Amino acid sequence: MTIEGKIIKALSGFYGVQYEGGYVQCKARGLFRKTGTSPLVGDRVMFSVEDEMIYEIQSRKNALVRPPVANVDMALLVFSAREPDFQTTLLDRFLVVLEAYDIEPLICISKMDLAEKNLGTIQEEADVYKKMGYDVLWTSSETNTGLEQLRPWLRQKVSVIAGQSGVGKSSLLNALSPGLDLKTEEISASLGRGKHTTRHVELLNIEDGWIADTPGFSSLDFDAVDSAHELHKYFRDFQAYAPNCKFRGCTHLKEPKCAVKQAVESAISHHLGMSITNSFFKK
């Protein structure tokens, strides 16, 4: 008899499956090698408790390459106010990729305790994203600021955390769940070895939700975008104007009577996408 469960851990051919009755370590049938789909953390599966075997993977909403996690609902995009300085180029890229994967972004500006002189500038930039319909949270793992605002976002979801190295991702997870004891940069540097050397992936249970323990998700993961001509669909700030463009399939680059470009020129819309679209076309 098979029952349904969720893979929350993957380690060298074994899959930790959580189900109503508990947790069991399973293997996957050879079948997966034939079908070309191997189980991923985050997969809902049909498995058997008796022979500790996964028999079937339920259809996925999405699947990321880095970290290898399926059915991701939300991405926590961490950008520090300082050290390193807040930057929007990478953020813009994340937002486009997430839209394509159908993953809800939550922008988290970390290390707020370090923001003094540049606080006003960051707030202005954050407002631009809020106007586009994105949610922005402010946190500090140093002073435990913003954690209570963050918690409700994690409930009932599978989340991944992304952001460049050193922005405070591990510190944030530790602050949310002190029992985790994840290595932060200082500690791993003092041990003289790099972080994230392990190849296993695990979903950590925080706030009745799940969050992948390995950060990942880079701006290079454009796999979900089929072609350059699809790209424009994933800019939220285009969506209000794009239906008014003269040409169907307008890429909003050089076409005449482009409503998106007109909106940018008249400064109604912050043009999130132009630099990204351009760089994508140059590839």
Residue numbers at the binding site for Zn ion (CB under 5 A): 245, 250, 252, 258, 260
Residue nearest to ligand GDP according to CB distances in the complex: 168
Closest distance between ligand GDP and the C-beta of residue 43, in Å? 26
DSSP 155: T
Q: What does 184 interact with, of ligand GDP, Zn ion, none (CB < 5 to 8 A by kind)?
A: ligand GDP
**Angle of CA points 193, 196, 202, to nearest 5°:** 145
Q: What is the CA radius of gyration of the chain?
A: 21
Q: What does 64 interact with, of ligand GDP, Zn ion, none (CB < 5 to 8 A by kind)?
A: none
Please count the other Cβ atoms lying within 10 Å of the Cβ belonging to residue 156. Answer: 10
Residue ranges binding ligand GDP (CB under 6 A): 110-111, 113-114, 140-142, 163, 165-171, 184-186
Q: What does 52 interact with, of Zn ion, ligand GDP, none (CB < 5 to 8 A by kind)?
A: none
- How far apart (Å, rounded) are the C-alpha atoms in residues 198 and 273? 35
Residue 71 structure tokens: 């059915």
Closest distance between ligand GDP and the C-beta of residue 112, in Å? 7
**Complex with ligand GDP: residue 31 or 187, whichever CB lies closer:** 187
Closest distance between Zn ion and the C-beta of residue 227, in Å? 17
Closest C-alpha to 234, from 245, 222, 244: 222
Helices assigned H by DSSP within 48-203: 89-101, 119-131, 147-154, 169-176, 185-190
**Complex with ligand GDP: residue 170 or 269, whichever CB lies closer:** 170
Q: What does 141 interact with, of Zn ion, ligand GDP, none (CB < 5 to 8 A by kind)?
A: ligand GDP
